[in-house]
Structure 1
Amino acid sequence: MSLEGPDIDDAAVIAATRHWLERAVIGLNLCPFARAPYVQQRVRFRVSHATDDEELLADLEDELRALHAVSAEQCETVLLIHPWAMLDFADFNEFLNAADGCVEQLGYEGELQVASFHPDYQFEGTGPADIENYTNRSPFPTLHLLREESIERVIEAIDDPDEIYRRNISLLQRMGLEGWTRHMAAAEPDDR
């Protein structure tokens, strides 16, 4: 479910992102630690109106500062969705270096980090149409701001964190592109 064009509004962008989060990330359990903050309403959705890397970097800095300033009980994580900037995956991937630099410049290394999702996400060594890329394919380019303490806490509770990635790949390979498309088109999460 992707919306395109300059006329999309923030509500439509957030709705499409919520649908992806509910159906894919939580619904397929691609990220086993995403459900709790989402149901507890500790995920902030921010739509950036940036159209270039400088504007996006400024929005990222604002969101990193805002997340750092509040407790995890108030806001666990932020999805900074940017439908008009970094539309090309190669540009987006390169921008991640600047995003990491921003975290470092603000002095938040070891506290906050930035993960990434994109409609054309492609892992190194995969083809553009390979199904495993869909684990990180979102409706719009999105920077995910995370608290490292939260990640460490969850990873400590899992025997083998690499099993998450392997399980996700296996699940998507069993589903195939047709199954993925059908699943994402459905309105409500199914029991999987």
Structure 2
Amino acid sequence: MTMTLPANASHEQAIAATRHWLERAVIGLNLCPFAKGVHSRGQVRYVVSDATEDESLLADLERELHALVAVAPDEIDTTLLIHPRVLNDFEDFVAFLDLVNVVLRTQQLEGILQVASFHPAYAFAETDADDITNCTNRAPFPTLHLLREASLDRAVAAFPDAALIYERNMETLRELGSDGWQALGVGAPAGEGK
């Protein structure tokens, strides 16, 4: 299922839906044990791109990568670049991720920042589209998560068995099931998706 905002939807609506997903799913289910700290300290920046084509999104991505590097981590540690009007098809989104890596290289940001990906139709290569474990990377809207490598390294060092997070998340979602995921209400707001 792809989610898109209607032309008259506000940035505030996209941010509110994304924040709700972060609080209920990512933090609520402890899918990312590092998210709670930066969220509670107000160090997550939410940005909505109005891009309707890849080129505009790439420009927004470059701007946000440089904005993140330019500010102290204790002010903004991570950025969620929400882009509800472009890359709603998951295959297009996956293909675009190659360009994200090119941007990191050309901007000489490899080893400094990395980008994680979330999409409402996210599906791991080895799973069926309706497999509940895909929800570990499903967000209300296509989203690029800009992370500082140094912050991630510190978080992983402080978390015992960080390598097991992926497996634990899969088990959490299997136990939750599709009905439990739906009950979280973390998709696009009603009337804003198809």
Superposition TM-score, scaled by structure 2 size: 0.92
Taking the aligned partners of 1:183 and 1:20, their CA distance within structure 2 comes to 8
Taking the aligned partners of 2:101 and 2:74, their CA distance within structure 1 comes to 24
Question: Could you give the per-residue CA deviations for residues 62-118 of structure 1, whole angstroms, max 9, x where no partner exists?
Answer: 000100111101110000000001111111011011111111111111000110000
Taking the aligned partners of 1:45 and 1:183, their CA distance within structure 2 comes to 21
Structure 1, gaps ≥5 residues long: 186-192
Any residues of structure 2 matched to 1:127-142 within 5 Å, and which?
Answer: 127-142=128-143
Q: SS state of the match for residue 7, structure 1? A: coil
Task: Report what 1:121 is aligned to.
Answer: 122
Any residues of structure 2 matched to 1:171-186 within 5 Å, and which?
Answer: 171-184=172-185
Taking the aligned partners of 1:90 and 1:168, their CA distance within structure 2 comes to 23
Task: Report what 1:43 is aligned to.
Answer: 44
Structure 2, gaps ≥5 residues long: 187-194
Contact 2:120 2:141 in 1 (8 A): yes
Any residues of structure 2 matched to 1:5-84 within 5 Å, and which?
Answer: 5-84=6-85
Aligned residues, how many? Answer: 184
Alpha-carbon shift at residue 3 of structure 1 (Å): 6.1
Taking the aligned partners of 2:4 and 2:90, their CA distance within structure 1 comes to 17
Question: Could you give the per-residue CA deviations for residues 141-176 of structure 1, whole angstroms, max 9, x where no partner exists?
Answer: 000000000111111122322211111111110111
Q: SS state of the match for residue 25, structure 2? A: helix
Q: SS state of the match for residue 92, structure 1? A: helix
Contact 2:5 2:85 in 1 (8 A): no
Contact 1:119 1:138 in 2 (8 A): yes
Q: SS state of the match for residue 44, structure 1? A: strand
Contact 1:43 1:79 in 2 (8 A): yes
Taking the aligned partners of 2:4 and 2:40, their CA distance within structure 1 comes to 25
Superposition TM-score, scaled by structure 1 size: 0.93
Contact 2:4 2:88 in 1 (8 A): no
Taking the aligned partners of 2:4 and 2:122, their CA distance within structure 1 comes to 17
Percentage of identical aligned residues: 51
Taking the aligned partners of 2:136 and 2:28, their CA distance within structure 1 comes to 12
- Root-mean-square deviation (Å): 1.1
Indicate the larger mover: 53-62 or 154-163: 154-163
